[in-house]
Structure 1
């Protein structure tokens, strides 16, 4: 009996290490998936997750766990996010740029964010395939508007949306921003998200920024969400859209089966960059 207890403890320790390693690598684990992988009951996995949460190794969420530092209220500055997962964001931005070829004639709305910021850098050099054509760009991001204005590209017509500016993201938000968004109908809106979840939809930590994002979703003819794989299956505090309110998700890794099924049911096109 003592040997069996010792082996059980060793096996639990190995499970705990595997779970912690997976959290660090992937960013999320599910109870059902871990139970299947280890060949144990879901109750055993829940006890494992409880033990790891008490040790500060992870944070329990519905159906699984995420990194301990990942909170529904967690938010970092734009400068910090620009350097995090930079390669993935560059890849996603290039895939997004493919939706605005030199033949494109229309208007674009850019949300505030690090991945949309990468797209803005690419758009700074945009040129049409015929003289005199312009690309109309609206944005609520003060940093992105300043960047696009500085390049003085004659093929870009820039509209900066006003409002109260959030210091951490540089985004204009509030009633003024929402009122201006209600007066435009852009052909394409590129929107960022802190979380893309099968159950909760698209979310972000701040309610004022969520309101601005929701207004963008409602304003645009086509909504394209730019989200690197760390945002998939994550949930932030405030939902700004359901999955069936968006048209396309551009990301750098295939969504997990549950999220992929929900995206398919919502008729969302998934583009892997």
Structure 2
């Protein structure tokens, strides 16, 4: 099957089913997940589908349900582990102050900080829980209303607390990273919190596996110009990577 024929079949399947995953498409058409992501990117540029976390939905349709924490934690685990290890190289010197966002990849980074002497601020209960047993890490949990989906504090109280902070580096997650929409997430309160994190940091590092690159979620929380580094995995589409780099973003491939 030629690429054009495969992409047409994918677009028809998305329209028929309403949502399909990258893994399902790769198995159906006997191609790699990287090829599927390139096909979906091409279809999205044509306005035929909309990429979402782990797959695609028909163009114009927004996902109504945000993936839960357990579901997201079980997706792309190998890639997330590699990204977390690569992010360690971007840690500031001992004694610095770090801000850790909610997310399954940032939680993996938290588990690797045992031997680092740092002050860490976070709004995420899973991140704080993993750091609490690290004697060299001084942990500060930000206040706010805890969302069940992400188990992280959000809202005006959280944003106000972040407004009083100035940290050396912030490690953030994102549901979408694209040249057209910047950094994005499905929820408005999460977006406001992430935006406040960006503003509080001297350096901003985004941790996002390849399925998020090229994808767009409804609410933008930062422009590419506000981010210093993107750490992703080697499944990232080469064209999308070059476009991000051309826009001035440093891309680290784990």
Output the TM-score relative to the length of structure 2.
0.79
What does residue 203 of structure 1 align with?
A: 184
2:42 maps to 1:30: yes
CA radius of gyration, larger in? 1
Distance in 2 separating the partners of 1:32 and 1:163: 36
Query: 1:64-100, CA deviations, whole angstroms, 9 ceiling, x for partnerless residues?
Result: xx62389444421112211110000000000001222
Structure 1 gaps of 5+ residues are: 1-10, 34-41, 50-59, 128-133
SS at match of 1:29: helix
Relative to structure 1, the CA distance from residue 249 to residue 32 in structure 2 (aligned partners, 3 Å threshold; closer, same or farther) is closer
Output the TM-score relative to the length of structure 1.
0.74
Distance in 1 separating the partners of 2:70 and 2:9: 33
Do the aligned residues in 1 keep the contact of 2:7 with 2:43 (CA within 8 Å)? no
What does residue 113 of structure 1 align with?
A: 103
Distance in 2 separating the partners of 1:211 and 1:241: 10
Do the aligned residues in 2 keep the contact of 1:184 with 1:219 (CA within 8 Å)? yes
Shift of 1:31: 4.4
Distance in 2 separating the partners of 1:93 and 1:270: 14
What does residue 18 of structure 2 align with?
A: none
Distance in 2 separating the partners of 1:187 and 1:262: 27
- The Cα RMSD (Å) is 2.9
Do the aligned residues in 1 keep the contact of 2:102 with 2:127 (CA within 8 Å)? yes
Distance in 2 separating the partners of 1:173 and 1:15: 39
Do the aligned residues in 2 keep the contact of 1:213 with 1:240 (CA within 8 Å)? yes
Distance in 2 separating the partners of 1:219 and 1:192: 15
2:142 maps to 1:174: no
What does residue 86 of structure 2 align with?
A: 95
